[in-house]
Amino acid sequence: MPELPETETIARDLHGLIAGSLVAGVEVIRADVLRGPLSGAFQEHQVSRSITGVLRRAKSVVLRLDDGKALVVTPRFTGSLQVDVEPDGYATIIWHLKDGRRLLYRDVRRLGTVTLFDAAGYQAFDRRLGVEPLTEGFTSEALSGILRGSETPIKKALMDQRRVAGIGNIYANEALWGAGIDPSREAGSLSSDECEDLVRVLRAVLEASIEARGTTFRDYRDAYNNRGGFAEQLQAYGRGGQPCPRCATRLTETHAIDGRSTVFCHRCQS
């Protein structure tokens, strides 16, 4: 599913494309993607409202409206937000903008969600999420505090959105390989130096992926309907059985930690 770099890319694109635009109409084609108490009057709450800005929170794209409401789109596995593409059979919601353009939420499997929050609802949503790894608040000391006493495997802890927001399977694999940390280690066992290394590597990986506009294997597309280019830079994820780029040992792939693919080097990450 789209993780931090992918949703950050979409949010930045959309902010440049539609911030300041007025919503002239909302067409709900597949209502099963809607969530929250405001879904019953979803269209009415947005018509004649301006989109004041677009940002990312965790793995979601947030469209701010001029009345204080927030539209939170979580693409999950096959969702995408695009401007002025031709609607197809996978279109779920279309926002018609006053300038004649369209914002389209497309979702092949309809596993993503679209939630309209009032100000209090968005604050509650935001409080449930952990620290953002690209902010100044994500320090080695902060990470050490988040992990302190935890017996959860470090890979699973990194993917817990209540602890660290936006990290999923791809970038947890990459960061732990880059920092030389066994993904199955208890999170609370990391030393302060290891936390410092992990913060540094995780930031570098995320920033490199944003620069490449995210990772596309199959479904992810940016707001312009283009693929991300970071897949060719991956060092661990998706490379099970191939040589470790650092020591040439065969990379191990397992599903034992959290039921999802974990790729690591048993020599470098010991």
- Residues 8, 117: Cα–Cα separation, whole Å: 20
Q: Residues 150-173, buried b or exposed e (16+ Cβ, 10 A)?
A: bebbbbbbbbebebbbbbbbbbbb
Query: Which residue in the list 35, 101, 260, 267 is annotated as catalytic?
Result: 260
66 exposed, middle or buried (CB, 10 Å; 0-12, 13-18, 19+)? middle
- Alpha helix positions (H), the chain: 4-18, 42-46, 119-127, 140-147, 154-158, 169-179, 192-211
Q: Is 59 a catalytic residue?
A: yes
Residue written as token pair 């490199």 = 208
Query: Which residue in the list 3, 6, 8, 174 is annotated as catalytic?
Result: 3
Phi, psi of 156 (to 5 degrees): -65, -40
Query: Which residue in the list 12, 59, 69, 163 is annotated as catalytic?
Result: 59
21 secondary structure, DSSP code: P
Q: Is 30 a catalytic residue?
A: no
Phi, psi of 46 (to 5 degrees): -110, -25
Q: Is 44 a catalytic residue?
A: no
Q: Is 2 a catalytic residue?
A: yes
- End-to-end CA, the chain: 28
Known catalytic residues?
A: 2-3, 59, 260
